[in-house]
Amino acid sequence: MDNGPWYSKKEGSPLKLSRNASITSPRRMDNSELKLIREYNSQVSIPDHQILSFDHLLDEINFGKFQYWIYGIMALMSISEGAQITIFTLMVPILKNEWHISDSLNSLQASFVFVGYLVGSMLSGQLADRVGRKKPFLISSFFTCLLSLGTIACQEIYSLLIVRALLGILVGLFAPCGVTMISEITPGHLRGRYMGLITLTFAIGQLFGLFVAEFTLTSLDEGNWRLLTFWCCLPGFLAWFISIFRLRESPRFALLSGQKDLAYNIIQEMINSNQASIQFNDEMKIKLSNWTHAMNRIAKNQNNASITSLFENNRFFLTILIWFNWLILSFVYYGIVLLLPDILSHIEQGQTGRDKIIQLVVSCISDILGAVAAAFFIELKGFGRKNSLIIFFTIQAITALMGFYDIEHRFIYWATASKFFLSMTFIFSFQYTAEVYPTKIRTTGIGMANGIGRLGGVIMPWICMYMNSQKLRSPFVLFSVLSVITSLSNCFLPFETLGKELE
C-alpha cells in the first residue's frame, strides 16, 4: 500500500504538515468524525490514506486574500447591523417626544423587531442548508439595506412597526448565513480567534451610529433621526455591492451538496488568491471526493436540513442548552442596550446630550475590547468555548448586580463592564454553536439558536421597561439572576469544541 505523499508543492518537494504529521495521516481528523468514516470505509473498502478531509485541505490553503474579501463583506454588514441597533435604541426616547408614543408602543416596536428576527433565523437555516449560503445572503442583505432606507419615509408608528418587523426578518436571514460562511472557509486553528475578531465589528457599527448621532441629534431625546438612518445604511450598501463581485459559495457546502465542479473551482481560486504552495491535482480531488462520499453516506439518514434534525442523534439535550444560553444572552444584552439611554437620562440630569452620547460611546468601546479579549481566551486550553461561557457569565452576573446596588454615579461603569463580558459570551456562543452541528444542518443550528435568542428580545421590553418604571435600574437584578442560572446550565454542555474539526 502506497503511503507516500500524494500531492506536492509547486517546487516539487513533499508537503509536510505542522506537528510533523503527514498530510495523509487520518489523525488530523476529529476522533468522532474519523470513527464514523472508518465504519463507513469498512463497508466500501476505502483505506484511510485515500481520504482527504476538507478541513485538512483548508489548513494547507491557509488564511489569505480569498478570506479577507469575505471577512470584509461580513464586517461591513455587521457594522450596518450594529448601527441599526444604535438607531433603534436612540429612536425610543426621540419618537416618544416627537410622535408622543406610549411605553407600551415602544415595547411593541422592540418586540416586532425580535419576532421578525426569529422568523428570519428559522427561514435562514432552511434556505441556506438547502440552496447554499451565497444566494440567501445576497438577496436578504440587499433588501435589508433597502428597507432600512424605507424607515425614513415612515410618518407614524404603525407603518414603522411593519418596516421594523420586515427588517428583523431580513437581518435574521443574512446573519446566520454570514456566520456559517466564515466558519466554513476559516482554517480550524484560526477559526475561534478570527471569528471572534469579526464579531467586534458589530460594536464598531454601534460606535459608527453614535458618531453619526453626534452630528444629527441635538440630545438623546430629539434630533434628525431620518438623516441618522440614511448615513447608517451606507456600510450595508457597500457590503452588498462588493459581495456581487467577491462573494463565493461555501466550498464545503458545494462539496457536500454534490456540486463538485463548483467546489473544485472555488478551492482552486482559494489556492491562487492565497498563493498557497500546493497543486490541486486529480489525485487530491479523488481523495476529497472520497471524504465527501463518506460524510454524505454517514449523514444520509441523519442530518436533513430541518429543525427536528437538531434533536436527533443525542443532540436533544445539547440543543436545549444552546437555545437557553442564547435566550438569556439576548435578553440580558439587549435589555442593557435598550435601557441604557433611558436610565442615563434619569440619573444624569445635569449632563448635556453630548456627555450622555460620550458615555454610550464608552459602553460600545467595551464591546470591542470584549471581542478582542474573547479572541484571546477562546483558543486557550482550559478556557476554550464551554469553560469561557461558564466563567464570564458568572463575572457578568456580579457586574450586573453591582449596577443596581452601587450608587447611581457609578452605574455607567458597571453597565459598561456588563456589556464587556456579554460581548465575550456572544462570541463564545456563536463559536460553540457553529462548531457543534454538522455542515448539512449548521446554518439551521445557528439560525434557530439565534432566533430563539431573539425570543428573549421579544419579551425583554415588556418586562424590563415595566420593572424600570417601577424602580430605576431594577432590571439589573434580574439580569444577574438569569446570568447565574445560565452559567450553571452551561456546566452541562456535553463537550468542548476547541480543536474539534467541523463535520
d(CA 314, CA 323): 15
Nearest to 484 by CA among 396, 387, 382, 406: 396
177, 254 Cβ separation under 8 angstroms: no
161 or 11: which leads in pLDDT: 161
Q: Which of 23-27, 372-376, 409-413 has the lowest mean pLDDT?
A: 23-27
Q: What's the pLDDT score for residue 381?
A: 79
Strand-strand pairing, 217-219 and 222-223: antiparallel
d(CA 419, CA 101): 28
Average pLDDT over residues 371-389: 85
d(CA 301, CA 440): 12
d(CA 127, CA 277): 35
Phi, psi of 314 (to 5 degrees): 65, 25
241-245, Cβ contacts within 8 angstroms, sequence gap of 24 or more: 242/69, 242/72, 242/73, 242/76, 243/73, 243/137, 243/138, 243/141, 244/138
Give strand pairing partners of 14. 8
Measured from the Cβ of residue 454, the count of other Cβ atoms closer than 10 Å reads 28
Q: What's the pLDDT score for residue 233?
A: 94
Please give the DSSP secondary-structure letter assigned to residue 12: S
d(CA 21, CA 170): 44
| The three three-digit cell numbers of residue 157, written as one number | 408608528
d(CA 496, CA 351): 47
The domains spanning 52-301 and 307-498 adopt the same CATH topology: yes
Q: What's the pLDDT score for residue 301?
A: 52
Q: What's the pLDDT score for residue 110?
A: 78
Output the CA angle 43-45-51, nearest 5 degrees: 110
CATH class of 307-498: mainly alpha
Q: What's the pLDDT score for residue 143?
A: 94
| The three three-digit cell numbers of residue 251, written as one number | 466550498
List all residues 6 or more positions away from 13 whose beta carbon is below 8 Å from its beta carbon. none
Average pLDDT over residues 28-43: 50
Measured from the Cβ of residue 441, the count of other Cβ atoms closer than 10 Å reads 26
Work out the mean pLDDT of the chain and round it to a whole number.
83
Nearest to 426 by CA among 336, 502, 325, 339: 325
Nearest to 298 by CA among 24, 39, 18, 25: 39
Please give the DSSP secondary-structure letter assigned to residue 500: P
- Alpha helix ranges (H) inside 132-249: 134-150, 157-185, 188-216, 225-246
Nearest to 288 by CA among 251, 319, 244: 251
Burial letters for 197-216: b for 16+ Cβ neighbours within 10 Å, e otherwise? bbbbbbbbbbbbbbbbbeeb
Average pLDDT over residues 249-266: 92
Which three-class secondary structure state does DSSP give residue 217? strand
| The three three-digit cell numbers of residue 449, written as one number | 439558536
d(CA 75, CA 83): 12
Q: What is the pTM of this model?
A: 0.74
Q: Is the pLDDT of residue 95 over 80?
A: yes
462 or 499: which leads in pLDDT: 462
Q: Is the pLDDT of residue 503 over 70?
A: no
Quickly name the fold that domain 52-301 has: Growth Hormone; Chain: A; (1.20.1250)
| The three three-digit cell numbers of residue 23, written as one number | 498530510
Percent of the chain surpassing pLDDT 70: 86
Q: Is the pLDDT of residue 182 over 50?
A: yes
Q: Is the pLDDT of residue 284 over 80?
A: yes
6 or 471: which leads in pLDDT: 471
Q: Is the pLDDT of residue 20 over 70?
A: no
Q: What's the pLDDT score for residue 170?
A: 92
d(CA 481, CA 51): 49
Measured from the Cβ of residue 382, the count of other Cβ atoms closer than 10 Å reads 9
Q: Is the dihedral of CA 4, 39, 439, 435 positive or negative?
A: negative
d(CA 29, CA 495): 17
Q: What's the pLDDT score for residue 260?
A: 92
Q: What is the CA radius of gyration of the chain?
A: 24
**Taking the mean position of all CA atoms in its chain, how far away is CA 120?**
14
Q: Is the pLDDT of residue 223 over 60?
A: yes
67 or 193: which leads in pLDDT: 67
Q: What's the pLDDT score for residue 16?
A: 34
Percent of the chain surpassing pLDDT 90: 38
Q: How confident is the model at residue 37 (pLDDT cuts 50, 70, 90)?
A: low
Domain residue extents for the chain: 52-301, 307-498
135 or 308: which leads in pLDDT: 135
| The three three-digit cell numbers of residue 353, written as one number | 446630550
Q: What's the pLDDT score for residue 201?
A: 87
- Alpha helix ranges (H) inside 378-474: 386-405, 411-436, 442-470
Nearest to 368 by CA among 430, 416, 327, 415: 416
Nearest to 74 by CA among 179, 4, 156, 162: 179
List all residues 6 or more positions away from 180 whose beta carbon is below 8 Å from its beta carbon. 128, 133, 250, 434, 442, 443, 446
| The three three-digit cell numbers of residue 284, written as one number | 487530491
Q: Mean pLDDT highest for which of 105-114, 137-146, 180-189, 312-321?
A: 137-146
Q: How confident is the model at residue 17 (pLDDT cuts 50, 70, 90)?
A: very low
